[in-house]
Amino acid sequence: MSDGNGFLLHVDSSADRRGEVSVTRRLTGMFARSWRERHGGAGYRYRDLVAEPVPLVGSGYVGLGTRVERQGVVPLEKVAALAEGAEEEREWALTLPLVSELREAGTVLLGVPMYNFGVPAALKAWIDRVSFPGAYTDPDSGRPLLGGTRVVVVAACGGGYGPGTPRADCDFQVPYLRAYFGELGVAEDALHIVRAELTRAGDMPGLARFQGLAAESLTAAEEAVAGLAARP
């Protein structure tokens, strides 16, 4: 359970592992470097969901999760005893370290490009894995265990999806993440979403006329990331 002072968990999900065109990897890298300069490297953990993909949840995960959910909120240390068979045991062994890592982080930094109007499959696999029933609720008080966790989402999209734009209704990236972390118990004022838009304006002819707006959006995102990284 985080008290807001734990380590930084840095998660990247862009398929561009080399970072040649990935705006999210560049921006999360800026945040992480600034954070390590202030706090040191000992409290930093990194997950590249493309280099080391999180396995998709299987039937054993569903079976164990359903059994646990029917009992209400079960402490993590008691879940293993409820596993039936090798498949459920294997699924829990894959799940527990990721859930524990998320619960213990003071700040969670996510790099999230928009793929086909939503989030990358690599990130969705991580989300599905860590979303084990009851894992973020205190079994005694019922309070959310991530209430003191700060979440910084660094998002990017090749086009423009802001309010009032023709494709605003196609944005299943930011609204999804806002709803997801809110449901997980992250406080509204602790969830920070920064998005650079029109990132493909420089190489897609149809978006060329928006290059000025793209540069403004990227600059604003860089400034927002730098400001968030500088906070205690």
- What secondary structure does DSSP assign to 158-195, as a single string? SS--STTSTTGGG--SHHHHHHHHHHHT--GGGEEEEE
137 against 18, higher pLDDT:
137
What pLDDT is recorded for position 5?
Answer: 61
DSSP label of 198: -
55 against 21, higher pLDDT:
55
What pLDDT is recorded for position 34?
Answer: 95
pLDDT at 10 over 50: yes
pLDDT at 1 over 80: no
Mean pLDDT of the region 192-205: 95
Number of domains comprising the chain: 1
Mean pLDDT of the region 66-92: 97
What pLDDT is recorded for position 19?
Answer: 72
What pLDDT is recorded for position 158?
Answer: 95
What pLDDT is recorded for position 2?
Answer: 44
CATH number for the domain that contains residue 48: 3.40.50.360
Range(s) of the domain holding residue 37 = 8-55+103-229
**Domain-located, residue 87:** no
**Domain-located, residue 96:** no
**Domain-located, residue 214:** yes
